[in-house]
Amino acid sequence: MSETTSADPTTATISVEDLEAEATAFLEANAERRAEARFEWGQGSDRVSLIRESTPEEDLRELAEARAWSQKVFDAGFGWLTGPPAYGGRGLSGDHARRWHELEGHYVVPPQFVFGVGLGMVAPTILSHGNDEVKQRYLAAMHRGDLVGCQLFSEPGAGSDLAGLGTRAVRDGDEWVVNGQKVWTSYAHLADIGEIICRTDPHLPKHKGLTAFLVDMHAPGVEVRPLRQMTGGSSFNEVFFTDVRIPDSHRLGEVNGGWGVALTTLMNERAAIGVGAGSAGVRERRLFELVRHMGKADDPLVRQQVAQLVVNGRVAGYTNLRAMAKVAAGQAPGPELSLAKMSLTKNALLLGDLLSSVLGPQLVADTGRWGTYAWGEFVLGVPGMRVAGGTDEVLRNIVGERVLGLPKEPAPR
């Protein structure tokens, strides 16, 4: 029997079992069950990418499909199960949310990649640092899929050194005027709002003079330009701001307190990126089949590489479980997330080495053979993944200094 604490069904407290029944009824009525996934060598597309690439036309089509599904899910009461009811959530536990996602995974539904940055990084920051007006205006809309969010942190001259950024925000009454440039911004070309960190006091130490805002990506003076990568895709963008006005009500946190806001976002970013660490997002079965079809199954060096990749993937998975258990218990994300992100890039590098050993020239020369040259897109995506969410070097410093207590990295003279 369900226990209810509200007459509103979207904010009622129910058991996980009752939610499961409710969710199953909704999914059965609105989606098709997913057939059992079976990988067969030579069947279907052999495309393998680490960083998802798509054309502008595909982006728009997928956004429309994702938005329609997200709106239907939210309106049925499953869109933000753990969120505060005051801001459009249902006030349920992480167990409820995990069960919903498990159930949804058994059905064919539109991919929700486009909402990943907004919901995984920007929305949690709004919830932690935004005023009530901003929370009311954006949180439910983002979780419903009405708005797409992006993160505007990196700059051409301040990638890993976030505190060294130069984009300026100057106060003008109840508004701030922003000028500068951001780079490597995923989904900026589709975004409606963005979380931006600006320098608001150049006379303070660089960590102290930053302020965070929410910016309207359709505002006058915002220009988004795609960046072509060596993978052939343009999933990242550079964004230029020329006299863009942001109301002070859209400030996140205190003036010159943006560093703490940025850390909230970065920890959530590493959670979102690192959770997929495992074997760099590639199913082991496909690797085993590749090794077998290339006649390398008995090669002792290749077998060692495969074993190392599988073991590292298992360990990364356990580390992720520790991190997610802390989040589920209401604790702040910790250093496990930095380890998870490092595991992802390390496993991607190991996989690239394995592919080189197994495929040889077929990794870089297209012979037309299924399941060979297609891996090149994955390998070309690895350098980008080593930068996203914090470079390997920055994350090692974080773990060394904050976890192991090692001396700080010497500052450049």
Write out the catalytic residue numbers.
Answer: 269
State how far the Cα of 308 lies from the Cα of 92, in Å rounded to an integer: 39
Contact (Cβ atoms closer than 8 angstroms) between residue 119 and residue 143: yes
Closest CA to 87 of 137, 130, 121, 122: 137
DSSP lists the bridge partners of residue 213 as: 196, 251
CB 187 within 8 A of CB 171: no
CA proximity to 127, closest of 13, 17, 214: 214
What are the backbone dihedrals phi and psi of residue 79, each rounded to the nearest 5 degrees, phi first? Answer: -75, -35
Instruction: Give, for 193, the enclosing helix (H) or strand (E).
Output: strand 193-199
SS3 171: strand
Beta strands in 206-280 (DSSP E): 210-216, 222-227, 236-247, 251-252
C-alpha count within 13 angstroms, C-beta hemisphere, residue 259: 14
